[in-house]
């Protein structure tokens, strides 16, 4: 399987879904045309976007591992991206009353613990702009996020290791049952 983004001067990036969006952060709005069909690619400036057809879970995990920065959407991809130990930006599915922003903040509050303040601020600013559909704010936040790449990479490695050190759900449920009986 090949990478989904033509190699740039690092970092490269992988966006796990390019789907129609109703905001200025959509790929179509940014490109000024619809994204390419599965298997196709398009270039704007130094960025080449390749639309990857659906594949197996193992193929998807390889894509996440190969990228320097993952842009993921939805909860399943969000979990897989955390295990990939790569920096990520999460686009939560929009919910009424902006409930998705509450979920985003809950994650960022935990994820940013121990992260250098400038890197945390860059991730939060970009994440909020992207989740609000504010293209100009996302573009303004991008340089700081890009500058924090090495710090975010180290943090993603540590975050994934910390997740791996947690007890598993089945064991926790067994312990809970034993302690209650």
Encode the chain (181 residues) as per-residue pLDDT tens digits.
Answer: 333 443 334 445 544 444 444 444 566 777 788 888 888 888 888 777 778 788 899 998 998 998 889 999 888 999 999 999 999 999 999 999 999 999 999 999 999 999 999 999 999 999 999 999 898 999 999 999 999 999 999 999 999 999 999 999 898 899 899 998 7
Q: Note the pLDDT of residue 42.
A: 86
* Residue 21 pLDDT: 46
Show contacts of 98-103: CB within 8 Å, 24+ apart.
100/131, 101/128, 101/131, 101/132
pLDDT at 107: 97
The strands making up 88-91's β-sheet, listed across from edge to edge, are 13-15, 69-73, 88-91
Distances (CA, A) of 19 to 52, 59, 100, 129, 133: 12, 19, 18, 18, 14
Task: Say what the pLDDT of residue 105 is.
Answer: 98
The residues spanned by each domain of the chain are 13-166
Q: Say if CB 70 and CB 52 are below 8 A apart.
A: no
Q: How many residues does the chain have?
A: 181
What does the pLDDT read at residue 4? 43
- What residues pair up with 47 in beta bridges, in sequence order? 44
């Amino acid at each position: 399987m090949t990478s989904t983004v033509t190699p740039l001067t690092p970092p490269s990036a992988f966006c796990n879904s390019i789907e129609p969006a109703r905001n200025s952060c959509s790929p179509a709005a940014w490109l000024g045309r619809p994204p390419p069909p599965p298997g196709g690619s398009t270039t704007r400036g130094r960025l080449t976007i390749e639309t990857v057809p659906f594949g197996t879970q193992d193929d998807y995990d390889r894509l996440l591992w190969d990228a320097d920065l993952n842009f993921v959407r939805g909860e399943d991809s969000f979990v897989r991206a955390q295990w990939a130990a790569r920096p990520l930006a999460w686009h939560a599915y929009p919910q009424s009353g902006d409930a998705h922003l509450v979920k985003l903040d809950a994650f960022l509050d935990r994820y940013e613990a121990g992260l250098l303040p400038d890197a945390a601020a860059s991730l939060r600013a970009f994440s909020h702009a992207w989740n609000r559909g504010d293209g100009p704010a996302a573009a303004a936040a991008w340089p700081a996020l890009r500058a924090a790449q090495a710090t975010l990479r180290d943090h993603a490695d540590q975050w994934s290791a910390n997740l791996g050190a947690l007890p598993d759900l089945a064991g926790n449920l067994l312990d809970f049952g034993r302690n209650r009986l």
